A = this chain, B = another copy of it.
Amino acid sequence: MKRFLSPADIGDLHQALQEALAIKADRYANVELGRNKTLLMIFFNNSLRTRLSTQKAAMNLGMNVIVLDVNQGAWKLETERGVIMDGDKSEHLLEAIPVMGCYCDIIGVRSFAKFENKEDDYSEKILQQFIDYSGRPVFSMESATRHPLQAFADFITIEEHKRTERPKVVLTWAPHPKALPQAVPNSFAEWMIAAGYDLTIAQPEGYELDEKFTQGATITHNQDEALAGADFVYAKNWAAYSDPNYGKVLSKDMSWTVSKEKMALTNNAFFMHCLPVRRNMIVTDDVIEAPTSLVIPEAANREISATAVLKRMLESL
């Protein structure tokens, strides 16, 4: 596997699941596979779960790890040819990225949507440059439009807890004080659809996601209808995708908060969220603390999805 952005990169999800569960049963089983191989983790944005779980995953495989924190403000790469570089950009990506590739075997990149330019964000401008110029296998540690390690972990978590072959999964928008990228809901939708689940997406008007991620899902503005009969409820906030409101907060409607009353509409559903979560905005205390809350098991599975992805990449070196 030379890149990891979407479920298509990982191929058969059932097989990937079996690999993940084998890792979970014995997470150091492949500790010789990564011997004398180096993972470079590049963070253009802050990270807690991804930083820790991906380092742990690399260690599970016996890899060496180098973490590079890039202050997005301080390290401005020139991306255009022909520019006289007499300003604040001290290096061109055409040098910086191949050089980073020199010192490692696999690269993970975190680079969030900036909400300055929709086309830059949705073309994955920064991540794509690493794919094109680093000469190494590259995986997303959450990029502008996707967070596949999270969605893979969510998929594993659902498979571990599902009570029917094809569960009803509801992805519901919920209120939040700030504008958040669409990376998590985009990836969640595309993985749930790839897994063959019955996916419903509920959101207020104006919050439609990019259709390329949601083909096959039922889409509604009625949260209560969506929740009826749900087996899994995945709450998440995101800012608007559609023009002319790209990156804007259109609603903070607290009636969308996932509460005990909302969960009562479901088929005794499990509650999920990628974390970090704003309590009593996204979800109430009682729902996130209930035995049916999977937020900690999901986070724990981040180590497993990352180990599975790195294992595939090591095998392809």
Contact = CB atoms under 8 A, between A and B. Distances in A.
Nearest to A282: B85
A92 interface: yes
B99 A275 contact: yes
A279 B99 contact: no
A38 interface: yes
A138 to B, nearest CB: 16
A177 interface: yes
Nearest to A257: B84
Contacts of A224: none
B38 A177 contact: no
Given A59-B64, A276-B91, A277-B91, A53 B177 contact: no
Decide if the interface of chain A is mainly helix, strand, loop or mixed: mixed
A40 B52 contact: yes
Given A38-B56, A56-B66, A86 B278 contact: yes
B99 A296 contact: yes
A92 B279 contact: yes
A290 to B, nearest CB: 13
Contacts of A36: 28, 31, 59-60
A56, A90, A95, A288: residue with the most chain B Cβ atoms closer than 10 Å: A95
A187 interface: no
A285 B91 CA distance: 13
A100 B279 contact: no
A54 to B, nearest CB: 9
A31 B79 CA distance: 38
A273 B68 CA distance: 23
Nearest to A254: B84
Nearest to A275: B95
A25 interface: no
Contact of A66 (B52, B87, B299): B52
B78 A279 contact: yes
Contacts of A60: 36
Interface residues of A, number: 56
A295 B68 CA distance: 21
Nearest to A252: B86
A217 B217 CA distance: 72
A94 interface: yes
Interface string A32-54: 00001010100000101101110
Contact of A91 (B59, B68, B275): B275
Given A48-B99, A49-B99, A99-B299, A289 B59 contact: no
Given A103-B56, A303-B103, A276 B90 contact: yes
Contacts of A103: 52-53, 55-56, 303
B300 A102 contact: yes
Given A48-B100, A82-B280, A90-B276, 10 more contacts: A52-B100, A52-B103, A56-B103, A56-B104, A81-B279, A81-B285, A95-B295, A98-B296, A99-B275, A102-B296
A38 B28 CA distance: 12
A84 B280 contact: yes
